[in-house]
Amino acid sequence: MRVVVQRASSAKVEVEGQIVGQMEKGLLVYLGVGDGDTEADAAFIADKLVNLRIFSDTAGKMNLSIQDVSGDILLISNFTLHGDCRKGRRLGFDSAAQPELANRLYEKTADLIAQSDIKVEKGIFAAHMHVSSINDGPVTFILDSKKLF
């Protein structure tokens, strides 16, 4: 699994002009499921998101987790995180998981995060979405459950 994590003051996702998920202070997370990912990858990513010290303490150092600041997560499925653009000009998506597996692991990740008493809002899997956010910092990280980078 790959995720792009952005610290945000607010974020929302719309499908067909309707807001389907939104959050105030917290994390906007784009999640891509790769071919071969398992529930262990979902658990790794959920744990990282819950415990990642990405928020500033009173000294201005990133020492606080989303739990520490009572933040929310807006989780957006995004298969293009597994796009390969190393050759040519057209992306290849051979490393992205098939939709059934991807949706199951996306939902599993959301459930695992919610078990930590963090409010999780979501987009709609496989829908065309419009995501808007006010980034805080900006602070952006990329995580990979296979630790490829």
Reported as a single tens digit per residue, the pLDDT across 65-124 is 999 999 999 999 999 898 887 888 877 888 889 999 999 999 999 999 999 999 999 999
Q: Is residue 19 part of a domain?
A: yes
φ, ψ (nearest 5 deg) of residue 41 = -65, -40
Q: Is residue 110 part of a domain?
A: yes
And the tokens for 86?
A: 């190393």
Q: Is residue 149 part of a domain?
A: no
Q: Is residue 113 part of a domain?
A: yes
As a whole number, the mean pLDDT across the chain is 95
Q: Is residue 104 part of a domain?
A: yes
Lowest mean pLDDT among 51-65, 88-102, 134-148: 88-102
- In this prediction, residue 149 carries a pLDDT of 65
- Helical axes 39-51 vs 99-114, angle rounded to 10°: 40
pLDDT of residue 148 exceeding 80: no
Domain holding 18, by residue range, is 2-144
CATH of the domain at 131: 3.50.80.10
pLDDT of residue 16 exceeding 70: yes
How many domains does one find in the chain?
A: 1
Q: Is residue 136 part of a domain?
A: yes
φ, ψ (nearest 5 deg) of residue 95 = -90, -5
